[in-house]
Chains A and B, each alone.
Chain A
Amino acid sequence: MFLKLKPSFYLLFLPLALWMLLFLVLPYTRVFIQSFYTIDDFGVLQPALSFDSYKRFFTKELYYFTLFKTFGLSAVVTAIALIVSIPLAYYIAFKATKNKTLLYTLIILPLWVSYIVRAYAWKIILGEEGILNSFLQFIGFIDSPISALLYSDLAVVIGMVHIYTPFVLMPIYTSFEQIPTSLVEASKDLGANRFITFFKVVLPLSLPGIITGGTFAFVLSLGDFLAPNLLGGSNTLFISNIFQNMFGTSNDKPLGSAIGIVLLVVVLFVLDMSSRAEKRYSSLNSDRT
């Protein structure tokens, strides 16, 4: 396939291709192969072509139930992140005039701030002896601390929404920015009020950005195992936590690999659907990368 290309091409491209092959493609291939292996009584891998791991995954309730729960919670996170992002992006894109650059910088700043710091912040806010509880006690709203705040589904959802909202904000803001003002003016000129203009012109035109943002939030939540670890209780398991466990304490690499492949397929499917949807709904000729 590369036959006709000049030697300079190989020189430039070879390190990249080799690196990606060795450290990315082959590792993923290994997981795929490993998912068909079996283990003996001592947890040692035995090469085989067995569908046992997949069978176990889809028959044991804990596993497939967790997968569904992960879907559900990720969808909730995505929905909230979208609802929260749209007004802010709209405000910065269309309403803010003076401090636009500052506001823009402010919404991308969290992307640069450590994940662990943001997750940690919720831990000290929501903890049993945490800031929220002591604040509520201080103002006399409650007598004894609410223990159910941290280590719950709610805490995980709040944390994830907080962590992933900037990822949603960015593309939505960008797509708002790309809408030519003349289109908004045309809509008003044709008699549409601001509500109708927003729902019939602005929102449809920014759909690609909304889809990108939503996909980010959904895929990132699907694969997150740290927020559930730090903020979730023992019963807030995400599929990634089970996945991680199989390579740790449970030591069942074939099952772990099978879960990994299922997760991979799901994520790739979501990404593919989203890029199709994005193409379908993009009506502005933009060179978004």
Chain B
Amino acid sequence: MKKFDALNFMTGFLAFAVMFFIYFPMLIVVIYSFNADTVNSFPIKHFSLKWYGVLIQNKTLLTSLKISALIGIFGTAVALVIGTMGALAMHKHNFKLKRFFERIVLLPITLPGILTGIAMLSFFPLLGISISLTAVVIGHTTFLICLVLTQVYARFKRLDPYLEEAAADLGSTPWQTFWKVTLPNIKTAIIGASLLSFTLSLDEIPVTFFLIARDNTLPIEIYTMLRRGITPEVNAISTIIFIISLIALILSVKFGERETKII
């Protein structure tokens, strides 16, 4: 038998307490999504799937889910193309402002979303882009591009530079080299970046908040519902979002290696 170790016990206890603090609220939401009552109070008197039923009837919420998914897919697709191309350009070439540019592309990820949102709100109309879903898509795509770029570029930096030379040495043109050697070796980073992009787009509020007109995205719709007062179906939709996030994460851990971390 191992001797009781007070220090180890304390660390373990603290760690457990923090884990509990992180997961407790989410567990509450999941549990109360099966609460038949309209009020979220303790203890739960009846369990039911009632709110999931209400959810399916809620046209506005379902439309907002569809809008969110479309924005996420479109934004991620555009961001993948532009971001990967940009990462490739920065990987292949050296130019004077490279360091500066590396910092610039980090800004949309690190700066408060509200700043970016209001900046876009102030400028997009001058470009002839009215406050609408188009504006939201552009807004999302902007920070998704930066996200993809950072992640893919990080992978490029770790990529053995001699692989591409070896391909050229064996007779591949630059174009063939990209498809046959470069792409297969950054594939996991691209998959990871897409999953992360899609999830972030699906969750995004601050930028969307300022650019949206009538049609709400899912989180904005939930936000509006919360402003109006708590409706128990939010528990149900939150549980579904929680599960979707869980699946996305598991996929990304499987594919994305370590680039998927958000930092």
Contacts and interface: CB of A to CB of B under 8 A. Distances in A.
Interface of A: 1-2, 5-6, 8-9, 12-13, 15-16, 19-20, 22-31, 34, 84-85, 87-88, 90-92, 95, 105-118, 120-125, 127, 129-131, 133-135, 138, 162, 165-167, 170-171, 174, 194-195, 212, 216, 219-220, 222-226, 230, 240, 243-244, 247, 253, 256-257, 260, 263-264, 267, 271, 287, 289
Q: Is the interface of A mostly helix, strand, loop or mixed?
A: helix
A10 to B, nearest CB: 8
Contacts of B41: 129-131, 133-134
B263 interface: yes
Interface residues of B, number: 90
Contacts of B62: none
B192 to A, nearest CB: 12
Contacts of A114: 202-203, 219, 238, 241-242, 245
Nearest to B29: A121
B112 A267 contact: yes
6 tightest A-B CB contacts, nearest first: A223-B112, A121-B25, A16-B86, A91-B15, A134-B41, A27-B119
Contacts of A264: 111, 115
Interface in B58-90: 81-83, 85-86, 88-90
Given A112-B245, A260-B115, 17 more contacts: A12-B85, A13-B89, A15-B81, A26-B123, A105-B253, A109-B249, A113-B26, A115-B205, A121-B29, A124-B32, A165-B18, A222-B112, A223-B111, A263-B112, A267-B112, A267-B115, A271-B110
Contacts, number: 252
A19 B19 contact: no
Given A16-B82, A166-B22, A263-B115, A219 B96 contact: no
Interface in B112-130: 112-116, 118-124, 126-127
B244 to A, nearest CB: 9
B112 A22 contact: no
Interface of B: 7-8, 11-12, 14-15, 18-19, 21-23, 25-26, 28-29, 32, 39-43, 81-83, 85-86, 88-90, 92-93, 95-97, 104-105, 107-108, 110-116, 118-124, 126-127, 138-139, 141-142, 145, 149-150, 154, 157-158, 174, 199, 202-203, 205-206, 210, 219, 222-223, 226, 230, 234-235, 238, 241-242, 245-246, 248-250, 253, 261-263
